[in-house]
Structure 1
C-alpha cells in the first residue's frame, strides 16, 4: 500500500473520529454514525482491499471507543467490518461509475443501511436492544442514511478537490 494513501485514510478517519465524538447519543444511546461517510469516502478514493480492511478495523475501533450505546463496542466493530467489505465489493462491481455523484449517493445510502442493520442485529444477539428493532431502525438508521448521503457527497467532493490541487494522482485506481 502507498504511504500517501495510508496517510489520507488516517486523516479521514481522524476527521471521522471528531465527527463521531461530537454527535450526542439520541435514542437509547444510539447516535448518527457520520464515521460511515468518512469510511465510504476513504474506500471510494482508495479502492484497494487492504485499505478497506484497514478502514474497517480502525473505523470500528474508533466508533467502539466513542459509542454511547450500552454494550455497543463489539457490534460497532462487526458492523464496520461487514460494511466496508460490502461497500468495497459494490465499488468493484460498478467500478467505472465510482466517481458518479448518483452512484456515491447510492453507495452511501445502501452502506449506511447495511451498517445499521448489522449493528442492530449483532447488538440484539450480543447485548440485547433497549428498544424495538423497528423503532431504532426508523428513528436512527434511516435518518442517518439520509444524513450520510449529503455528508458523503460533500466530503468526497472536498477531498477530491484537495487531492487535485495537491497534484496527487490516486483517485480512480
Structure 2
C-alpha cells in the first residue's frame, strides 16, 4: 500500500473518530456508528484485502475507545473486522455488475446491518445487553443503516472529487 493511501485511510479514520466521539449514546448506551461510513469508503477506494482487515481493526479500536455501550470494547473490534471483510467481498463482487455509486450505497446499508447484528450478538454473549435485542436493533441498527446509505455515498463522492481535484487517482 502506498504512502498516499495510508495517509488517506488515516485521515478518514480520524474523521470517523471525531464524528463517532460527538454522536451521543442513545438506547442502552448504543450509538449510531458513523465510523462505519469511513471504513466502507476506505475499503471502496483502496480495494485491498490486507487494507480491509487493517482498517476494520483500526476502526474497531477507535470505536472501542469512544463507545458509550457498557462493555462494548471487545464487541466493537469483533464487529468491525468481520464487517470489513464482508464489505470488501461485497465491493469486489458487486463492482463487476453494478455502478460503484450503487455498490457503495448497498454496502453502506447491508454492512451496517451486519455490523450491528454482530456487535449485538457478541455483546450479548460477552457482557449482556442493557436493553432487549429487538429494541436495540430496531432503534439503533436499522436507522443507522438507512443513514449510512446516504452518508457512505456522500463521503465516497467527496473523497473521489477531492482526489480528482488534486490529481491523485487510487
For the criterion TM > 0.5, the same-fold answer is yes
Determine the C-alpha separation between the residues in 2 that align with 1:74 and 1:53.
Answer: 16
Distance 1:8 1:73, change over 3 A: same
**Structure 1 partner of 2:47:** 47
What secondary structure, in the 3-state scheme, does the structure 1 residue paired with 2:29 have?
coil
**Structure 2 partner of 1:15:** 15
What secondary structure, in the 3-state scheme, does the structure 2 residue paired with 1:96 have?
coil
**Structure 2 partner of 1:64:** 64
Deviation at 1:52, TM superposition (A): 0.5
Unaligned runs of 5+ in 2: none
Give CA deviations for 1:43-79 in whole Å, capped at 9, x if unaligned.
Answer: 0011001110111111000000000000000000000
**Structure 2 partner of 1:28:** 28
Aligned pairs (5 A) from 1:98-137: 100-137=100-137
Give CA deviations for 1:100-141 in whole Å, capped at 9, x if unaligned.
Answer: 322211110001000000000000000001111111000000
**Structure 2 partner of 1:5:** 5
Deviation at 1:98, TM superposition (A): 6.6
Determine the C-alpha separation between the residues in 2 that align with 1:32 and 1:50.
Answer: 26
Determine the C-alpha separation between the residues in 1 that align with 2:125 and 2:43.
Answer: 29
- Asked whether the 8 Å contact 2:44–2:91 carries over to 1, the reply is yes
Determine the C-alpha separation between the residues in 2 that align with 1:98 and 1:31.
Answer: 31
Determine the C-alpha separation between the residues in 2 that align with 1:59 and 1:119.
Answer: 13
Determine the C-alpha separation between the residues in 2 that align with 1:86 and 1:28.
Answer: 27
Determine the C-alpha separation between the residues in 2 that align with 1:87 and 1:104.
Answer: 9
Unaligned runs of 5+ in 1: none
Q: Bigger shift: 75-84 or 45-54?
A: 45-54
Q: TM-score normalised to the size of structure 1?
A: 0.95
